[in-house]
Amino acid sequence: MSNIKIRAAVKADLPILKDFEQGIINAERPFNPCLKSEHFCYYDIGALIEADTSTVMVAELDGELIASGYARIRESKAHLIHDQHIYLGFMYVAPNYRGQGINQRVVESLIAWGKSLGFSDFYLEAYAQNQPATSAYKKLGFEPSLVELKLSL
């Protein structure tokens, strides 16, 4: 896997990135029965690629995109000591490449981008029941911070 290249996404990557997004949605359906059954999107990936306040990174192997993630600057809640932070999302690794540390490399590149802008606070979300995801993020140093609870009657 040493020949995997982590790079900033470009507009030409959009068709594959949109497929990755649907892969994320399908993977998250078992954790949230409230997700719409029809086609929908979580992100405006094109805007994330073009904005100065965000970056989308991809992992590429022999010209094939195999993973993605984004980082963007977000306003922090008024009660926090930092005014802004970096929010990470759109984490996806193609099924044949999972468990090989590729997501870690993408996340590290996103953190490096945020640090280059002077940020030291990074947040992301994962479904609490998604043990592979939460375990992977804990290995990278993330700790649970706030648990959202819901009741559907």
- Give the torsion through C-alpha atoms of 124, 129, 132, 136, to 10 deg: 30
pLDDT at 150: 85
What is the C-alpha separation between 50 and 56, in angstroms, rounded?
9
User: Does a structural domain hold residue 46?
Assistant: yes
The 3-state DSSP composition of the chain as helix, strand, coil percent (nearest 5) reads: 35, 25, 40
How far is Cα of residue 21 from the mean position of the Cα atoms in its chain? 10
19 occurs within a structural domain:
yes
What total of structural domains would you count in the chain? 1
- pLDDT value, residue 147: 86
Q: Report residue 76 as tokens.
A: 């922090």
Task: Please write down the HEC assignment for all residues of 45-97.
Answer: HHHHHHCCCEEEEEEEECCEEEEEEEEEEEECCCCCCCCEEEEEEEEEECHHH
In a domain, 87, yes or no: yes
Going from the first residue of the chain to its last (153 residues), give the mean pLDDT of each consecutive group of 10, the final group possibly shorter.
91 98 96 93 97 98 97 96 97 95 96 98 95 93 90 87
Query: In this structure, is residue 40 part of a structural domain?
Result: yes
User: Residue 34: which domain range?
Assistant: 5-139
How many Å apart are CA 35 and CA 149, to the nearest integer? 16
CATH of the domain at 93: 3.40.630.30
Give the pLDDT confidence of 114-149 residue by residue, as tens digits: 999 999 999 999 999 999 999 999 999 999 988 888
Domain-embedded: residue 24: yes
pLDDT of residue 28: 95
Long-range pairs for 28-37 at CB < 8 Å and ≥24 separation? 28/127, 28/130, 31/127, 31/129, 31/130, 32/127, 33/152, 34/150, 34/152
